[in-house]
A and B are shown apart, each in its own frame.
Chain A
Amino acid sequence: MTRRTYKPFDPLAVALEQIGDRWTLIIVRALMNKPQRYSDLKAFMVGSGSNVLADRLRRLADLAIVTRSAGSRAGSDITYQLTERGWTLAPVIEDLVRFGLRSLLFGATGHESGPERRVFDLGWAMTNPALAVEETYQWIIDGVVFTLEVVVEGVQIVRTPGHAKNPVARLETTTEVLEELLGRRTTLGEAVKSNSMKLKGRPAAIERMFTALGFPPDQVETLQLADTG
């Protein structure tokens, strides 16, 4: 490597130097869900430069965090997956996710003042933007009510404080339950069954909601949506 990096004998600085880069962590997080092809990973790299993915994958392979494997059939796609060493990063990611989740739901100030209006990109979660439907969802998290509105033009989701006018799906739960879901310590199906998450709406709308918000398909499948009505 030609770049001269400043490297002190300091565990935090070394960790940040190796894995502290935004795109590196986003790739590791994507691979915690499942092994991914190069083209799958591209969807997670919203806003990155064109060669960033290739560069980070090379670096992650050098660090033995990610391995690549060719499919069993000739000509099938190469997939990338975490090594055992790569999986040791899971607690770092989970702690970051836990920190980010509260900001995502409530904004910087937390519960007290409630969430302010914010617009988010949906492109990374909606692999097929044509499937986006203009509709609103209402979430109550830790008792705080807010509206999530899908805007098809621009493939965005808008978060506003307060009740939704005509939500097609309603969700009520706590940040703890969401954290467990994100850390894969529970599934959507289990959360609903144990009554720690309440869902209302038509199965198809609920499915669209979770998909639009980036929940992985295997999580959405655990809902067995027929009975949530």
Chain B
Amino acid sequence: MADSWHSRCFCPLSMALDVLGDRWSLLVVRALLPGPQTRESLCTFLARRDGPDLDAILRELIDAEVIRRGQAGGHDSVFELTDRGAMLGPVVQELMRWGLGELLLTTTHAARGSESFDQSWAVADLADPKDEAYAWTIDGRTFTLEVVGSTLIRTLGPPPDPVVVMETSSEIFEALAFGRISFPEALMRGELRLSGQPEATRRMFHVCGFPPEFLQALAPDRISPEVSA
């Protein structure tokens, strides 16, 4: 009921933050931006992230009229964004742009030491995980992404023995991450350079959490001409 999002102040930002509650809400909103999802698929998406009680979050978002139950294909537990919820698209995009800069060290205030990321949610369904290292050069700055089990360790500087080397700009990376250009397109235009085995390249994007649609575009027959060791 209204109690779950009582704004105390007549202030739009306060109001928005009341409606959104905790940070998990926006992760749910992002999952629903491409279209309706079943409870199960949302569950996979969030449970992989060590998530809190999904039903509680869904209930709050329904009360706040950000999402609603849909009736796609006789499924009784399909969730979709309301018009109000769809208004959060730009918020999610702007936050992702900020976060991307952080991940790629392009807007980061200082070169930090090693930072570890928990990728168990992304590695879970990877058939052949391997401990290996990738070199990424974004806007001329090179850093290492090293896989150790389900942990991804980012360190400034190139690795001694990368299985994949990728070089691009933050603009192109952002366009790829937001689906504004396709992977083969970026390769063809020379806006992204990759070298490494196709299988290693797939593993790299998989571990880094790129969605299945993106990984499909990486099918070896589609990228092999451009990718060479």
Name A's B-contacting residues (CB within 8 A): 6-22, 25-26, 29, 46-47, 63-64, 83, 85, 88-89, 91-93, 95-104, 108-110, 116, 118, 120-122, 124-125, 148, 157, 159, 182, 213-214
Contact = CB atoms under 8 A, between A and B. Distances in A.
Contacts of B12: 96-101, 103-104, 182
Nearest to A23: B17
Given A120-B7, A120-B9, A8 B119 contact: yes
A46 B96 contact: no
Contact of A9 (B87, B92, B103): B103
A26 B110 contact: no
Given A11-B99, A88-B98, A97 B50 contact: no
Interface of B: 2, 7-17, 19, 23, 26-27, 30, 49-50, 64-65, 83-84, 87-88, 90-92, 94-103, 107, 109-110, 115-119, 121-122, 152, 154, 177, 208-209
15 contacts: A7-B116, A8-B121, A11-B98, A12-B26, A26-B17, A83-B109, A89-B98, A96-B91, A97-B12, A103-B19, A116-B2, A118-B7, A120-B10, A121-B10, A124-B9
Nearest to A116: B2
Contacts, number: 167
A64 B8 CA distance: 30
A20 B16 contact: no
A91 B16 CA distance: 14
Provide the main secondary structure of the chain B interface: helix
A11 B102 contact: yes
Given A14-B103, A95-B94, A100 B13 contact: yes
Nearest to A124: B9
Contact of B122 (A8, A14, A182): A8
A183 to B, nearest CB: 11
